[in-house]
Chain A
């Protein structure tokens, strides 16, 4: 029930705080009340017609970088938050 679906903002919000987003090829109006910082082009998590949060592309890249690093010998036990992500951030 707490499902959040990634969507891309495609219009500026109207007077009611609603903007159009694209969710897997379909457009829908969602409320941007909870993400006042969101801009057109940002990805947001949508739940029950509301954008809950802006998805951080930077952190997504960092998590993926961690997975990549885990493939290397000797890095299996790295602490995720201590990994140096300078190359990807």
Chain B
């Protein structure tokens, strides 16, 4: 049973030892940020904040791809779903995320053909089954997801599928980290780096953090002990005055990443400037489909002009994503905005910081 494969990575006795070791090395106050929604969930669900000494503050950053997608981009997806003959396919996380005026869930309720798929390959298979419709895949996600879309686009070309395209809203992580270390409102001592993004890109793309900014990072796995080990390695580096990019998640991350996946991303996509909710436009952190694959680019195949975007009144999701505001510090948190009636994306997505704080903690104060 693969379910028990990593049971040892949840052993409470080891957790207590690691927690004691962190207390031992973290003599000075430090602020660590994770930038992966799965870490946000792992930290909240396993009560890891409660195991930290007073000196260690854990912040959640812009690690939820759904949450960082700008309103203007969500509005574009909604507008595409309204075009005649279009089937819009998406990962489930995007359905309830509010744009400026609507959400995909609301559009579906209004009769648009919006379908949730597990894999981009399922979307491609749907296009082959529905030759009279144009099937659009809403491409959202970081470097973990981008190669799956790139390979599916290559598959579409190989299989000569003519009625399928991708709206690429993909973003890449390292550039966002640079924007965060330059943010005067957020003083980050070190980064808990994302495990599966790094499975794809390796450790090299983060080296600038250590070299140019003297900010350490540890690529960390997702079991409770993995997270504690990552925090302990960061605290040790900071105590010793070191700044390096280390890999704690050695069972799934190699320094060079996955070369096949990186080559697929580079073949199909080219970097462009991208707008991140809460941070703004970060140069070179978006992935546009290359000219050579323009036939599979929804922006070419189904061009639309969405209405002028607007922000959600009172929602501080953008500040939460930068770590400038903790979820419970937002006036709407737990009052007007709950997982049942979410107002902003950080509460909508199951791995959004607000949803994690709401679900697993006493309004996040533990």
- Please tell me which stretch of B11-19, B177-185, B209-217, B269-277 contacts chain A, meaning at least 4 of its Cβ atoms lie within 8 angstroms of it: B11-19
Partner among A24, A36, A66, A76 whose Cβ is within 8 Å of the Cβ of B1: A24
Give CA–CA (A64, B9) in the complex, Å. Answer: 7
Q: In this assembly, does B233 line the interface, its C-beta being within 8 Å of a C-beta of chain A?
A: yes
Q: Please, how many residues of chain A have a CB less than 8 angstroms from a CB on the other chain?
A: 43
Q: Is the CB of B197 within 8 A of A2?
A: yes
Q: In this assembly, does A60 line the interface, its C-beta being within 8 Å of a C-beta of chain B?
A: yes
Partner among B5, B24, B140, B253 whose Cβ is within 8 Å of the Cβ of A6: B5
Q: Please, how many residues of chain B have a CB less than 8 angstroms from a CB on the other chain?
A: 62
Main secondary structure on chain B at its contact with chain A? helix
Query: Across the interface, which residues of A come within 8 angstroms of B347, CB to CB?
Result: none
Give CA–CA (A56, B108) in the complex, Å. Answer: 42
Query: Across the interface, which residues of A come within 8 angstroms of B156, CB to CB?
Result: none
Give CA–CA (A43, B2) in the complex, Å. Answer: 8
Nearest Cβ distance between residue B226 and chain A, in whole angstroms?
8
Task: Map CB proximity to B onto A5-33 as digits: 1 under 8 Å, 0 otherwise.
Answer: 01110000000100000111100000101
Main secondary structure on chain A at its contact with chain B? mixed
Q: Is the CB of B2 within 8 A of A2?
A: no
Give CA–CA (A58, B37) in the complex, Å. Answer: 27
Task: Map CB proximity to A onto B336-364 as digits: 1 under 8 Å, 0 otherwise.
Answer: 00000000000001010000000000000
Residues of B within 8 A of A (CB): 1-3, 5-6, 8-9, 11, 13-14, 17-18, 20-21, 24-25, 36-38, 64-66, 91, 93, 118-122, 140-142, 144-145, 147-148, 151, 155, 194-197, 199-200, 225-226, 229, 233, 236, 246, 248, 250-254, 258, 260-261, 264, 349, 351
